[in-house]
Chains A and B, each alone.
Chain A
Amino acid sequence: METNDKLLKDFFSENKKEIADNGFSNRVMQNLPETADRSWIVWVFAAIGMAISIYFGLTSGLLEHAFSIFFKTVPYYYLIAGIACFPLLGTAGYYLSQNKSYAF
Chain B
Amino acid sequence: MSNTDDIRWVTQVALLGDKNAFDKLTCKYQSPIRRFFLNLTAGDGPLSDDLAQETFIKAYLNITAFKGISGFSTWLYRIAYNVYYDSVRAHKKYADINEWEIDSQHQTQNEFSAEKMDIYRALRLLRKEEQTAVLLFYMEDKTHPEIAKIMNCPLGTVKTYILKGKEKLSLYLTNAGYGN
Chain A residues with CB under 8 Å of chain B are: 3-12, 15-21, 24-25, 27-29, 31-33, 35-39, 41-42
Closest to A1 in B: B166
Q: Which residues of B contact A (CB under 8 A)?
A: 15-19, 22-23, 26-27, 30-31, 34-35, 38, 49, 52-53, 56-57, 60-61, 112, 115-116, 118-119, 122, 134, 138-139, 166-167, 169-170, 173-174, 178-179
> A18-B31, A24-B34 known; A38 and B173 CB under 8 Å?
no
In the assembled complex, the Cα of A56 lies from the Cα of B154 at a distance in Å of 57
| Contacts known (A19-B34, A31-B57); A7 close to B170, Cβ less than 8 A | yes
Residues in B neighbouring A15, C-beta threshold 8 A = 115-116, 118-119, 139
Contact B27–A3 (Cβ < 8 Å): no
Q: Is the CB of B60 within 8 A of A32?
A: yes
Contact check: which of B35, B61, B119, B169 meets A19 at CB < 8 Å?
B35
A6→B116 CA distance, assembly (Å): 19
Across chains A and B, the number of contacting residue pairs, with CB separation under 8 Å, is: 91
Give 10 new A-B contacts, CB below 8 A, not counting A10-B179, A25-B27, A41-B16: A4-B167, A7-B173, A8-B138, A12-B138, A12-B139, A15-B116, A35-B17, A37-B17, A38-B17, A42-B16
Q: Is the interface of A mostly helix, strand, loop or mixed?
A: helix
Contact of B17 among A10, A27, A28, A36 (CB under 8 A): A36
- What are 29 A-B pairs with beta-carbon distances under 8 A? A4-B167, A5-B166, A7-B170, A7-B179, A8-B166, A10-B179, A11-B122, A12-B139, A15-B116, A15-B118, A15-B139, A19-B35, A21-B27, A24-B34, A24-B52, A25-B27, A28-B26, A28-B56, A29-B22, A29-B23, A29-B26, A31-B57, A32-B22, A32-B60, A33-B57, A36-B17, A38-B16, A39-B18, A42-B16
Alpha-carbon gap, A31 to B53, bound state (A): 9
Task: Report how far A18 CA is from B173 CA in the complex, Å.
Answer: 23
Provided the pairs A8-B166, A19-B30, A28-B26 are in contact, do residues A41 and B35 lie with their beta carbons within 8 angstroms? no
List residues of chain B with CB within 8 A of the CB of A31. Answer: 53, 57
**In the complex, which residues of chain B have a beta carbon less than 8 angstroms from the beta carbon of A3?**
179
Main secondary structure of the interface of B (DSSP, over half): helix
Chain A nearest CB from B147 CB (Å) reads 14
The CA-CA distance from A33 to B19 in the complex, in Å, is 10
Min CB gap B101→A, angstroms: 22
* Cross-chain contact of B119 among A9, A10, A11, A29 (Cβ < 8 A): A11
Q: How far is the CB of B46 from chain A (nearest CB, A)?
A: 12
Given the known A-B contacts A12-B138, A18-B31, A38-B15, are A24 and B49 also in contact in the complex, defined by CB atoms under 8 Å?
A: yes
